Amino acid sequence: MTKIAIIGGGASGLACAIELLHNIENKNDVEVTILEKLPRVGKKILVTGNGRCNLTNMNSAVSGFRGDTAFSQYALREYTPEKNIEFFNRLGLYTREEDEGRVYPLSNQAASVLDALRFECERLGVKTICDYRAVHLKTVDTGVTKKIVINNRDRFDFVVVACGGKAAKVHGTDGDGYDMLKMFGHTIVSPAPALVSLNCDEFTKALKGVRSICKMDLVIDGKKELENYGEVQFTDYGLSGIPIMQLSRFVSVSPSNDIKINLDVTPDFSKEQIWEYLISRRNVDTGLCENLLSGIMNKQLCITLLKECQVAVNKRVNTLTDDELKRIAKIIKNWEIKIKNSRSFDYAQVTAGGVDCKEFNDETMESRFVKNLFCCGEVFNVDGDCGGYNLQWAWSSGRLVGKTIGERINNAQN
Ligand SMILES: Cc1cc2nc3c(=O)[nH]c(=O)nc-3n(C[C@H](O)[C@H](O)[C@H](O)COP(=O)(O)OP(=O)(O)OC[C@H]3O[C@@H](n4cnc5c(N)ncnc54)[C@H](O)[C@@H]3O)c2cc1C
């Protein structure tokens, strides 16, 4: 009997177990066991996509991924979004594509994605042991073969570390995988929170709850690193919303103390149009400045911007000086917000960094140090953009490991 342990019953672990058994010719001679730390498998899947599970993205090109992108290419090409959708179709789960290539289950319920995976595991006879925390790995030589031993007790022919990263500890992931892989000499690229909100210095609490479509530049040490566009959510600690979260991994991994997000809060208007708007308001408007920009943005945002550029909100619009108008025009198109740091792993959706991919074979995901030891999913130094990319990586890498182990067992049996 060939025994396979998958440490972690999350997205990649479940996909790995299913793909493995789909590929096995003689299922009676293998035992696949998922060892899961929490009382149930797949807890994190339930909260993905705000409970709807954005399970992949049709534009899942390599450009949507960070970390060791060269390593991730093979798995992502072998298991494209179309192929992962087919995989779910075979489990009876159908999907719908929405804006920007985001794919959701037709049910609109993350629970149905987890159910599809769980029921297929049950049907295939996968053994699931919950409340099992793996903390220790080693190999032993039995004389005939080498076995991998978990927690100094349980022996397996193959072990897959599918423990995830450090993000969202409440869903079971707090970096155990890194500690176990270090026991075999693997290197960990320093983990950092990604897809997370940003803390700002001295940020005005008055903006809490305001949302605004903005264009934004991430500027580190005076150099523009990246730009983005979309709805920014202002909070009592700083900035949030999908486009901000997309930029967050670059904040997390940067050693610099000079990080800014420059917001253009009226991306639909050019600088010239904003200037003309301000001049025209000054010509006709005898009201207070606090309402000056109410026609083009949220009123609280207008008040905040005026305060930031030292224009009195109770001044009459028709008395604004040219210099004051210039300051207002400038801040509307380029509001420089100093970033303190990204929020902690507890608030992050994924982990940037992780086990160093160079120490693994990209076509099998097997360790170059220990035969029959594999990894898949977020434990690797691979992270994706918001929009289904991270689950795409979890399914693709998990399935690649499953297929590899399945084929290896078939070859040994034949
Ligand atoms: C709030 C939130 C929303 C998200 N939404 C999306 C989305 O819509 N689309 C998307 O693509 N991505 C999304 N993600 C990211 C995505 O969920 C993860 O990237 C993906 O689940 C990673 O898969 P994984 O299998 O590597 O790890 P995980 O799914 O995190 O699973 C790891 C499993 O291992 C278990 N485990 C950990 N340590 C041990 C141990 N020592 N012993 C035994 N078991 C252990 C954990 O309990 C867990 O069940 C979201 C993440 C969060 C937190």
Q: Decide if pLDDT at 285 tops 80.
A: yes
**Confidence band (pLDDT; 50, 70, 90) for 62?**
confident
According to the model, what pLDDT value does residue 268 have? 94
Distance CA 205, CA 358 (A): 45
Mean pLDDT across the stretch 230-256? 95
Q: How confident is the model at residue 61 (pLDDT cuts 50, 70, 90)?
A: confident
What superfamily would CATH give domain 2-191+352-413?
Answer: FAD/NAD(P)-binding domain (3.50.50.60)
Cβ of 11 closer than 6 Å to ligand 1, yes or no, is: yes
pLDDT at 56: 97
Question: What digits encode the pLDDT tens for the residues 65-104?
Answer: 999 999 999 999 999 999 999 999 999 999 999 999 999 9
Q: Is the pLDDT of residue 241 over 80?
A: yes
Query: Once rounded to an integer, what is the mean pLDDT over residues 147-153?
Result: 97
pLDDT band at 26 (very low <50, low <70, confident <90, very high): confident
Looking at residue 60, what is its pLDDT?
A: 73
Predicted confidence at residue 142, as pLDDT, reads 80
Give the pTM: 0.95
Mean pLDDT of 117-124: 98
Tokens encoding 211: 């949302």
Q: Name the nearest CA neighbour of 53 among 349, 404, 312.
A: 349
Instruction: Give yes or no for residue 172 CB within 6 A of ligand 1.
Output: yes
Query: In the predicted model, what is the mean pLDDT of residues 377-406?
Result: 97
The encoded tokens of residue 321 equal 């000086």
Q: E-assigned strands of 244-325?
A: 259-264
Q: Where are the domains of the chain?
A: 2-191+352-413, 197-343
Classify strands 102-105 and 198-200 as parallel, antiparallel or unpaired. Answer: unpaired
The Cα–Cα gap between 220 and 395 comes to 34
176 lines ligand 1 (CB under 6 A): yes
Q: Which of 391, 393, 396 to mutate to test the pocket of ligand 1 (most atoms within 8 A of CB)?
A: 391
Q: Are 309 and 327 in contact (CB under 8 A)?
A: yes
For residue 166, report the distance from its CA to the centre of ligand 1, in Å: 9
Q: For residue range 289-301, what is the model confidence (pLDDT) as tens digits?
A: 999 999 999 999 9
Would you place residue 63 in the very low, low, confident or very high pLDDT band (cuts 50, 70, 90)? confident
**CB of 191 sitting under 6 A from ligand 1:** no
DSSP 221-235: TTEEEEEEEEEEEE-
pLDDT exceeds cutoff 80 at 185: yes
